[in-house]
Amino acid sequence: MSKPLISIVIPAYNAGKYLAETLESVRSQTFSDYEIIVIDDGSTDRTVEIASSYDGVVLLTQNNRGAAAARNAGVRAARGAYVAFLDADDIWLPSKLEKQAARLLDNPRNQWIYTDSWVFDAATQRTLCRIGERIRLHQGDILLPLLLRCFIPSATPVVKRTALTDAGLFDETRERRVIEDWSLWLRIAERHAVALIDEPLAMIRMHASNTSRTVNPWAVYRNKRDLLEQTIARNPRVSSGTRLHARANIAVSAGLRYLHNAVRQVHAEGGQ
């Protein structure tokens, strides 16, 4: 059996509500040289049943160990030269892989590539924003701007498999929960420039169960701070100004997260 160009890795935990739509968006791609790997992370709903109903889907199962461990299991099972990541509640637009594959093959020096994306509300299906209109997206040597914020939409990167393994894959420790994407992108950015397709080719679904909405703000701040300090220690070219700016950004982000949680709590209590 010939190897596909791209392996699509989809971690899934209790994703039965959205998984079929996600898989249909993959099946609707105008590019076909891929394999789909779904990693069930100990689900208790219909996730396994839904994934199994799709012909050609490689289904891996594991006890619940988190998204990072699930993605790593998918990367280790991947046969493609490149790996694309897609969460089980997000959606790709039909031309995503075709456009990314063309750019990667046109310039073999490109080790990874990402795109812009839309963000939409799961309950209303209303488009909330285009990420690239809210924050600046960068390409080339992105280590310094990536230290200031993670601007790479999680459903968009396609990365050469060797670049992933050289960078050490996703950090599976509890301390990196929620920011495991940012941690890996930083390690890849230390080694390789990135290409950008400045077009929204994925849709990020926002809903109440998003991990980023359910974690403790202090834990997120502490983990981001530790990640920054470790990355800066490995990269002497990071200036003191960039270091201070990055630290300030995560502090402001933590404050806004606390404020958002407080407002949501007031609304939940009926405004009292």
pLDDT digits (tens, 9 = 90+) for 133-165: 999 999 999 999 999 999 999 999 999 999 999
Q: Is residue 107 located within the same domain as residue 233?
A: no
Residue 166: which CATH number? 3.90.550.10
Q: Is residue 107 located within the same domain as residue 171?
A: yes
Tell me whether residue 1 is in a domain: no
Q: State residue 111's pLDDT score.
A: 97
Provide the terminal-to-terminal Cα distance of the chain, rounded to the nearest Å. Answer: 63
Flag whether pLDDT at 266 surpasses 90.
no
pTM for the complete prediction?
0.90
- Closest among 57, 69, 65, 48 to 24, alpha carbons compared: 57
Q: Is residue 172 located within the same domain as residue 57?
A: yes
Read off the pLDDT of each residue in 217-235 and give the average, rounded to a whole number: 90
Of 211, 244, 261, which residue sits at a domain end? 211
Locus of tokens 């080339």: 140
Q: State residue 263's pLDDT score.
A: 59
Of 177, 211, 245, which residue sits at a domain end? 211
Q: Give the distance between the most distant pair of CA atoms in the chain.
A: 63
Tell me whether residue 68 is in a domain: yes
- What residue type is assigned to position 115 of the chain? T
CA angle 10, 148, 90 (to 5 degrees): 20
Q: State residue 130's pLDDT score.
A: 97
Burial of residue 174 (number of CB atoms within 10 Å: 0-12, 13-18, 19+): exposed
Q: What are the structure tokens assigned to 163, written together? A: 């670049």
Q: What are the structure tokens assigned to 255, written together? A: 């404050």
CA atoms in the 13 A half-sphere facing the CB of 146: 26
Q: Domain containing 252: what range?
A: 216-272
Read off the pLDDT of each residue in 195-223 and give the average, rounded to a whole number: 81
CA angle 125, 126, 130 (to 5 degrees): 120
Q: State residue 214's pLDDT score.
A: 56
Query: What's the domain count of the chain?
Result: 2
- Closest among 44, 35, 37, 36 to 15, alpha carbons compared: 44
Q: State residue 215's pLDDT score.
A: 66
pLDDT digits (tens, 9 = 90+) for 18-43: 999 999 999 999 999 999 999 999 99
Q: Is residue 202 located within the same domain as residue 246?
A: no
Of 211, 229, 261, which residue sits at a domain end? 211
Q: Is residue 67 located within the same domain as residue 154?
A: yes
Q: How many CB atoms lie within 10 A of CB 250?
A: 20
Q: Of the given ranges (49-58, 171-180, 204-213, 237-246), which has the lowest mean pLDDT?
A: 204-213
pLDDT digits (tens, 9 = 90+) for 108-131: 899 999 999 999 998 888 999 999
Q: State residue 150's pLDDT score.
A: 94
Tell me whether residue 161 is in a domain: yes
Q: State residue 212's pLDDT score.
A: 52
Name the average pLDDT for the chain.
91
Q: Is residue 28 located within the same domain as residue 105?
A: yes
Q: Is residue 112 located within the same domain as residue 227?
A: no
Read off the pLDDT of each residue in 198-206 and give the average, rounded to a whole number: 96
pLDDT digits (tens, 9 = 90+) for 95-109: 999 999 999 999 989
